[in-house]
Amino acid sequence: MMDSPDISVVIPAYQSEQFIEACIRSVLQHDCVKQVVVADDASTDDTAAIIQRLAEEDQRVEYTTHADGKNKGAGPTRNMAIGVCRYAWIAFLDADDLWLPERFDQTFSVLHAYPDADGVYECLGIQFDTEEAEQQWMERHGYTLTTLQERVEPESLIFSMAPLGNKGWFSGDALLVKRTMLEVCGGYSDLRLSQDTELFMKLAVKGRLYPGNINTPVALRRVHGNNRITTSPERFYAHRLILWKQFSDWCLQEKLHGKLLQKVWLMRTHDILVYVRWVPGNLARFIFTWRSLRPMLHPRWLKTFF
């Protein structure tokens, strides 16, 4: 077996007293993990005390929090933790999720086989804490694996994975990526939802991400009564429009032309036309549609397609 790289792990935590200890211990079972940065996003329960106790037990665990003591959301909290990371490779885990013992069984073989790899994504499964949680999840989502449905080349990933493609997607819980790539892509944005989707799209464009074990889980999403789940289609599409706006602005900033912008334009237009159904009144719908589409119809925007 090839030598494994040293890894820093980022765990954002908020009101996680029920789950944080199991989460951290699932990470510490891996010898390749040399640093576990647990970033507390202004929790008011016993999250901080549990992290600090584990830090006393294992010097790899490091507690950090925002200097002003304010709650800032998952994206800025992950960025704060990334800034503390000391190692070249970074992995992520949400505070209520778990890594399995086989987390890196295939990861390092992929890095050995592809020296140009900037990251490896793998399969995330689900642990249902209650039958009620399982029933609600399956009614809303209907799947138990978060993964790419087939192996794709790095240059095809952005067009294969959701939301631009239809072959599935990966989770941050099952991603290992170079710290330099996170810096190139600007880290996480301050989006309250979909900040991970936005970053992973940028990574797929800028880096070379390879599939590892995409068939069986290397980590588990814990589904319980406290999960943040977006159930309102209106809210989903409202946030999706913000995502498309930010990602298309980034594409223009990075001078990305051709097929990528064409696909983004089409997806953004589609979601504008879907969301408009929730705008009350015909005049308001017309104004919303025009204001949303007008910037995308400017010749300076359209010429970047080619």
For 87, counting Cβ atoms within 10 Å of its Cβ (0-12 exposed, 13-18 middle, 19+ buried), the class is middle
Domain boundaries, the chain: 7-223, 233-305
Distance of alpha carbon 51 from alpha carbon 71, whole angstroms? 17
What is the residue-level pLDDT of the chain in tens, covering all 306 positions? 457 899 999 999 999 999 999 999 999 999 999 999 999 999 999 999 999 999 999 999 999 999 999 999 999 999 999 999 999 999 999 999 999 999 999 999 999 999 999 999 999 999 998 889 899 899 988 899 999 999 999 999 999 999 999 999 999 999 999 999 999 999 999 888 889 999 999 999 999 999 999 999 999 999 987 665 556 899 999 999 999 999 998 998 998 878 898 899 999 999 999 999 999 999 999 999 999 988 877 776 677 666
The structure tokens listed for 116 are 């140009």
* Secondary-structure breakdown of the chain: helix, strand, coil percentages, each rounded to the nearest 5: 45, 15, 40
Q: What's the topology of domain 7-223?
A: Spore Coat Polysaccharide Biosynthesis Protein SpsA; Chain A (3.90.550)
pTM here is: 0.93
